[in-house]
């Protein structure tokens, strides 16, 4: 009853001077609206920036096989073949902080189309998930190969812009066939332009194909790991060997049938050169690294204390740049927001002080009929908080409208932020309490006798 | 039966270095159901005495019993509570809340009562009181739409809302024309007679004081006269008391 009475009294008091209440609260309205709009624009922008930076690879991790060492001599990263596509699938399924993972088999080879040829910077054998990892799902033309193509080791590929420019000179490559080390791949899609990476490497100079195709049809035929299997696979897969005898020419004498029968075909290695992993977000990188490490320990049966047979690399530099950018942005916005709210709060305090002076007789009267100092304090505090709160509500509506208009009219990316709204309500009430307290306290300290006689 | 009693009440204001004694040993008692006028010139300590009687202030020394309770040392909160329960105030300047309806004005003190009833009950009682002071058709009017006499009647209704035993009227007719003053004083008499409410009229107008059964005169901080209002009591403010008390 008493609280309810205080509340109603405050509302009545504000209603008695509705114009002044509205003007007083305008400071808060503008402050909160500015905060909301700013935060939403800021969040939209920083998200856009984050996406851009992430597309540079800020949230990607590289899992590389470890190094072999013999007699104290290390052979460098990748010298043991420990990573398998199975590892890749397991990472994707068992690590919650990972959003996408793709195995990569690398090769360097000449790509030929008609009378043009080019050696792309990268030939990547991978899965369609590669494009998710690299934030590269937008295709310029055609589409990416499918998981089915990976299973079938289909001879299909996707080309980067540079490669298209060098080989096709304005022609549409989709549907054409290019030859990679005499294996012909059908072009099914063209990637969108990505430009150079941080190191100045042209990322568009790329050819993507199913990793199975690259591994078993392209590199398998030339990188001679086991001499006996090489000739066997070569003869079954690469039918152009006879036409271009120089490519991949046998370094070793071709074994006779008897020899071949004596040395059965070894199991086809299914190791990959690296696994590319995308974390859920750039902030989940640490978690992702931890989860992958644990998982690979388990899968590779590495005892605690034994050296890892893999390495994980992240793009620390880019991540740092990213976090400093967003931190700067939000700090800046917070400063602007704080200033506008403090100004609004001072406006409220000012008017409340005037109001207390103006209503001295009313305060005296209320005290004479039995209001305690605390009742008066509560009444004025409630008024101030009510002013700020309603200002906050109007400000939120105005701010949301503002950011909507910014998106609609200026095409500036904004993002609705529930946190900003909650913070705005909280801050406006806090401002009300903070700046309403002094006038309310002053009112409650009035002497009823003096107050009643005040002119 | 006694409603209130003052014994040797002193009140001294400290104005910087100087002590300014205003009340210098006041002792008086008022019975229940009395209609008393408190008269005195300005500066005589009349307002100070009224503030102490109305629990707005506490004496520097001396004792004050209200309704059998000694309250000279009561805290601000206790005094606020006493004012709310026991005392109704009527002021010279009406002191109604502007831009607030008569009904809301009358209801206002209920909000500060510890044992306030329901909202509906308070509203009904406020309407009843407004009807009794003859303003049943003006309940929704704001003070600026009412005449002085009507405003003072709203103020009386407000003073009565918490069923006080003691009504303190500080120059209630000071801002009214003679016709309204007469009506108002008749209303006080009626309240006193029918409800048995003890009323203290603070005034310097002998014509007003004449309506009281008893006149207490105060002069220079002491009681200058205390007695029944005789027919010929229309002397001026500074005049000596005509009652049986005689000059102190």
Residues of A in contact with B162 (CB under 8 A): 370
Could you give the count of Cα atoms lying within 13 Å of B64 in the half-sphere of its Cβ? 25
User: Phi first, then psi: what are they for A11, rounded to 5°?
Assistant: -65, -45
CB contact under 8 A, A372 and B80: yes
β B166-170/B87-90 pair status? parallel
**CA B40 remoteness from chain centre:** 15
Residue B170 lies in a domain: yes
Q: With 0.90 as the threshold, say if the pTM is over it.
A: no
User: Phi first, then psi: what are they for A95, rounded to 5°?
Assistant: -110, 110
Residue B132 lies in a domain: no
Residues of A in contact with B22 (CB under 8 A): none
Residues of B in contact with A362 (CB under 8 A): 95, 97
Is residue A128 located within the same domain as residue A273? yes
Going by C-alpha positions, the residue among A23, A109, A43 that lies closest to residue A417 is A43
Q: List the CATH number of the domain containing B33.
A: 3.40.50.300
* Chain A interface mutation, best of B22, B108, B109, B154, highest count of A Cβ atoms under 10 Å: B108
Is residue A205 located within the same domain as residue A333? no
Residue A48 lies in a domain: yes
Residue A196 lies in a domain: yes
CA angle A173, A177, A183 (to 5 degrees): 140
- CA quadruple A143, A145, A146, A149: dihedral positive or negative? positive
* Residue B43: Cβ within 10 Å count: 11
User: Mapping DSSP to helix (H, G, I), strand (E, B) and coil, where does residue A257 land?
Assistant: helix
- C-alpha span between A38 and A24 (Å, rounded): 22
Contact B56, B134 (CB under 8 A): no
Chain A contact for B99 (CB, 8 A cutoff): yes
Residues of A in contact with B84 (CB under 8 A): 369-370
- C-alpha span between A310 and A306 (Å, rounded): 12
Contact A385, A429 (CB under 8 A): yes
Chain A contact for B81 (CB, 8 A cutoff): yes
Per-residue pLDDT of chain B (248 residues; tens, 9 = 90+): 889 999 999 999 988 889 999 999 999 999 999 999 999 888 888 989 999 999 998 899 999 999 988 998 889 889 999 999 999 999 999 999 988 899 999 999 988 887 767 888 889 999 999 999 999 899 999 999 999 999 999 999 999 999 999 999 999 998 899 999 999 999 999 999 999 999 999 998 888 888 899 999 999 999 988 887 654 444 444 444 444 443 43
The confidence score (pLDDT) of residue A425 equals 82
Residue A199 lies in a domain: yes
Tokens found for residue B57:
């202030």
Going by C-alpha positions, the residue among A383, A433, A432 that lies closest to residue A8 is A383
State the smallest CA–CA distance between residue B187 and chain A in angstroms.
21
Is residue A46 located within the same domain as residue A120? no
Residue B209 lies in a domain: yes
Considering A281, A297, A314, which residue would you say is the last residue of a domain? A314
The confidence score (pLDDT) of residue B102 equals 92
Gyration radius of chain A over CA positions: 35
Give tens-digit pLDDT for B219-228: 999 998 888 7
Which residue of chain B is at minimal alpha-carbon distance from A447?
B56
Residues 82-121 of A with CB under 8 A from B: none
CB contact under 8 A, B111 and A452: no
Residue A35 lies in a domain: yes
Residues 8-67 of B with CB under 8 A from A: 51, 54, 56-57
Using CB atoms, pick whichever of B56, B100, B162 lies closest to residue A368: B56
The confidence score (pLDDT) of residue B239 equals 42
Going by C-alpha positions, the residue among B231, B223, B108 that lies closest to residue B240 is B223
Dihedral, CA of residue A141, residue A147, residue A153 and residue A159, to nearest 10: 20
Is residue A291 located within the same domain as residue A327? no
CB contact under 8 A, A362 and B111: no
* Chain B interface mutation, best of A3, A6, A365, A379, highest count of B Cβ atoms under 10 Å: A365
- CA quadruple B173, B178, B183, B185: dihedral positive or negative? positive
Q: Which residue has the tokens 């036409």?
A: A243
Residue B54 lies in a domain: yes
CB contact under 8 A, A368 and B54: yes
The confidence score (pLDDT) of residue B240 equals 42
**CA B83 remoteness from chain centre:** 11
User: Phi first, then psi: what are they for A245, rounded to 5°?
Assistant: -65, -20
Which residue of chain A is at minimal alpha-carbon distance from B94?
A365
User: Mapping DSSP to helix (H, G, I), strand (E, B) and coil, where does residue A394 land?
Assistant: helix
Is residue A206 located within the same domain as residue A286? yes
Residue B109 lies in a domain: no
Chain B contact for A452 (CB, 8 A cutoff): yes
CA angle A28, A33, A39 (to 5 degrees): 125
Domain residues for the domain of B53 are 2-95+162-228
Is residue A14 located within the same domain as residue A122? no
Dihedral, CA of residue B90, residue B94, residue B100 and residue B101, to nearest 10: 70
Q: A300 Cβ partners below 8 Å, 6+ apart?
A: A82, A309, A310
Chain A contact for B214 (CB, 8 A cutoff): no
- DSSP class per residue in A270-294: ---SEEEEEESSGGGHHHHHHHHHH
Helix-then-strand count for chain A, H and E: 16, 14
The confidence score (pLDDT) of residue B245 equals 40
Residue B17 lies in a domain: yes
Considering A314, A348, A381, which residue would you say is the last residue of a domain? A314
β A183-191/A177-180 pair status? antiparallel
The confidence score (pLDDT) of residue A248 equals 56
User: Mapping DSSP to helix (H, G, I), strand (E, B) and coil, where does residue A429 land?
Assistant: helix
Residues of A in contact with B113 (CB under 8 A): 370
CB contact under 8 A, B109 and A369: yes
Contact B247, B218 (CB under 8 A): no
The confidence score (pLDDT) of residue B248 equals 36
* DSSP 8-state secondary structure symbol assigned to residue B245: S
Is residue A84 located within the same domain as residue A35? no
How many domains does chain A contain in total? 2
Q: Which helix (H) or strand (E) covers residue A420, if one does? A: helix A418-444
A–B interface: beta-carbon pairs under 8 A: 69
Could you give the count of Cα atoms lying within 13 Å of A245 in the half-sphere of its Cβ? 1
Which residue of chain A is at minimal alpha-carbon distance from B95?
A365
Q: B220 Cβ partners below 8 Å, 6+ apart?
A: B24, B44, B45
CB contact under 8 A, B112 and A361: no
Residue A60 lies in a domain: no
CB contact under 8 A, B100 and A16: yes
Chain B contact for A445 (CB, 8 A cutoff): no
Is residue A180 located within the same domain as residue A296? yes
User: Phi first, then psi: what are they for B22, rounded to 5°?
Assistant: -110, -50
Is residue A154 located within the same domain as residue A297? yes
Q: A246 Cβ partners below 8 Å, 6+ apart?
A: none
β A122-126/A206-210 pair status? parallel
Is residue A20 located within the same domain as residue A152? no
* DSSP 8-state secondary structure symbol assigned to residue A218: I
CB contact under 8 A, A366 and B112: yes
CB contact under 8 A, A365 and B97: yes
- C-alpha span between A187 and A204 (Å, rounded): 15
- C-alpha span between A46 and A41 (Å, rounded): 8
Contact B3, B67 (CB under 8 A): yes
Q: Which helix (H) or strand (E) covers residue B19, if one does? A: strand B18-31
CB contact under 8 A, B116 and A2: yes
Using CB atoms, pick whichever of A16, A362, A371 lies closest to residue B112: A371
Residue A85 lies in a domain: yes
Going by C-alpha positions, the residue among A223, A312, A211 that lies closest to residue A270 is A211
Is residue A367 located within the same domain as residue A326? yes
Residue B237 lies in a domain: no
Helices (H), B97-200: 102-107, 119-132, 148-160, 178-194
- C-alpha span between B178 and A112 (Å, rounded): 118
Is residue A94 located within the same domain as residue A30? no
Q: Which residue has the tokens 């193509």?
A: A149
Going by C-alpha positions, the residue among A392, A430, A379 that lies closest to residue A10 is A379
Residues of A in contact with B93 (CB under 8 A): 361
Residue A292 lies in a domain: yes
Could you give the count of Cα atoms lying within 13 Å of B103 in the half-sphere of its Cβ? 16
Per-residue pLDDT of chain A (455 residues; tens, 9 = 90+): 577 888 888 888 888 888 988 988 888 898 888 888 888 887 887 778 777 777 666 788 888 887 766 677 776 665 677 788 888 989 999 888 898 999 999 888 889 998 888 999 889 999 999 988 888 888 888 889 999 999 888 999 999 999 999 899 888 899 999 999 888 999 999 999 888 776 778 888 999 999 988 888 887 643 344 333 444 444 445 555 555 555 555 667 777 778 777 776 655 667 888 899 988 877 788 888 889 988 988 888 888 887 788 888 887 766 677 777 777 877 787 787 778 878 888 888 888 899 899 889 999 999 999 999 999 999 999 999 898 889 989 999 999 998 899 889 988 888 888 888 888 888 888 888 888 999 999 999 999 988 988 87
Residue A65 lies in a domain: no
How many domains does chain B contain in total? 1
Q: A296 Cβ partners below 8 Å, 6+ apart?
A: A63, A87, A91, A302, A308, A310
Domain residues for the domain of A190 are 72-225+269-314
CB contact under 8 A, B109 and A448: no
Residue B224 lies in a domain: yes
């Amino acid at each position: 009853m008493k609280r309810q009475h205080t509340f109603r009294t405050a509302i009545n008091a504000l209603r008695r001077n509705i114009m002044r209440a509205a003007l007083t609260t305008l400071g808060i309205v503008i402050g909160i609206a500015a905060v909301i709009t700013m935060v939403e624009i800021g969040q939209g922008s920083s998200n856009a920036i984050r996406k851009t930076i992430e597309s540079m690879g800020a949230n990607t991790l590289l899992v590389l096989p470890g190094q072999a060492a013999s007699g104290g001599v290390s052979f460098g990263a990748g010298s043991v073949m420990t990573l398998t596509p199975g590892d890749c699938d397991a990472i994707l399924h068992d690590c919650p902080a990972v959003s996408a993972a793709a195995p990569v088999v690398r090769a360097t080879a000449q790509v030929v189309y008609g009378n043009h040829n080019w050696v792309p910077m990268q030939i990547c054998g991978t899965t369609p998930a590669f494009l998710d990892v690299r934030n590269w799902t937008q295709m310029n033309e055609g589409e990416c190969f499918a998981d089915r193509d990976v299973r079938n080791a289909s001879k299909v590929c996707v080309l980067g812009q540079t490669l298209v420019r060098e080989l096709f000179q304005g022609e549409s490559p989709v549907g054409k066939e290019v030859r990679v080390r005499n294996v012909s791949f059908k072009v099914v899609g063209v990637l969108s332009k990505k430009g150079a990476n941080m190191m100045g490497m042209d990322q568009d100079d790329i050819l993507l194909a199913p990793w199975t195709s690259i591994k078993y049809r392209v590199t398998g035929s030339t990188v001679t790991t086991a001499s006996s299997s090489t000739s066997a696979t070569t003869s079954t897969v690469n039918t152009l060997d006879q036409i271009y005898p120089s490519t991949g020419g046998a370094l070793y004498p071709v074994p006779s049938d008897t020899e071949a029968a004596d040395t059965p075909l070894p199991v086809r290695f299914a190791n990959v050169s690296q696994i590319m992993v995308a974390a859920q977000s750039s902030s989940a990188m640490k978690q992702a690294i931890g989860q992958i490490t644990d998982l690979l320990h388990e899968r590779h049966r590495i005892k605690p204390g034994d050296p890892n047979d893999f390495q994980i690399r992240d793009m620390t530099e880019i991540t740092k740049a990213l976090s400093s950018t967003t931190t700067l942005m939000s700090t800046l916005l917070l400063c602007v927001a704080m200033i506008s709210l403090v100004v609004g709060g001072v406006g409220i305090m000012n008017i409340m002080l005037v109001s207390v002076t103006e209503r001295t007789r009313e305060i005296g009267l209320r005290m004479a009929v039995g209001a305690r100092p605390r009742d008066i304090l509560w009444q004025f505090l409630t008024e101030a908080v009510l002013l700020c709160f309603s200002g906050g509500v109007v400000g939120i509506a105005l701010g949301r409208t503002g950011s909507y208009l910014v998106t609609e009219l200026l095409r500036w990316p904004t993002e609705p932020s529930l946190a900003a709204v909650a913070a705005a309500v909280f801050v406006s009430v806090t401002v009300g309490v903070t700046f309403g307290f002094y006038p309310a306290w002053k009112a409650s300290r009035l002497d009823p006798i003096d107050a009643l006689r005040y002119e | 039966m006694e409603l209130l009693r003052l014994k040797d009440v002193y009140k001294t204001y400290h104005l910087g270095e100087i002590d300014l004694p205003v009340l210098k040993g006041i002792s008086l008692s008022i019975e229940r159901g009395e209609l008393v006028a408190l008269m005195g010139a300005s500066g005589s300590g009349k307002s100070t005495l009224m503030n102490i009687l109305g629990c707005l202030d506490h004496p520097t020394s001396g004792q004050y019993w209200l309704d059998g309770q000694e309250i000279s040392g009561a805290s601000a909160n206790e005094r606020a509570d006493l004012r709310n329960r026991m005392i109704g105030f009527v002021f010279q300047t009406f002191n109604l809340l502007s831009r607030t309806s008569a009904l809301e004005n009358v209801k206002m003190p209920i909000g500060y009562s510890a044992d306030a009833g329901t909202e509906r009950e308070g509203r009904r009682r406020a309407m009843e009181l407004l009807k009794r002071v003859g303003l049943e058709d003006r309940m929704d009017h704001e003070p600026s739409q009412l005449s002085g006499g009507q405003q003072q009647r709203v103020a009386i209704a407000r003073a009565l809302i918490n069923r006080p035993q003691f009504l303190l009227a500080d120059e209630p007719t000071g801002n009214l024309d003679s016709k309204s003053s007469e009506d108002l004083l008749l209303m006080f008499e009626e309240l006193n007679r029918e409800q048995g409410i003890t009323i203290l009229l603070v005034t310097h107008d002998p014509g007003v004081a004449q309506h009281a059964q008893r006149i207490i005169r105060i002069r220079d901080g002491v009681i200058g006269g205390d007695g029944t209002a005789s027919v010929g009591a229309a002397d001026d403010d500074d005049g000596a008391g005509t009652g049986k008390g005689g000059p102190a």
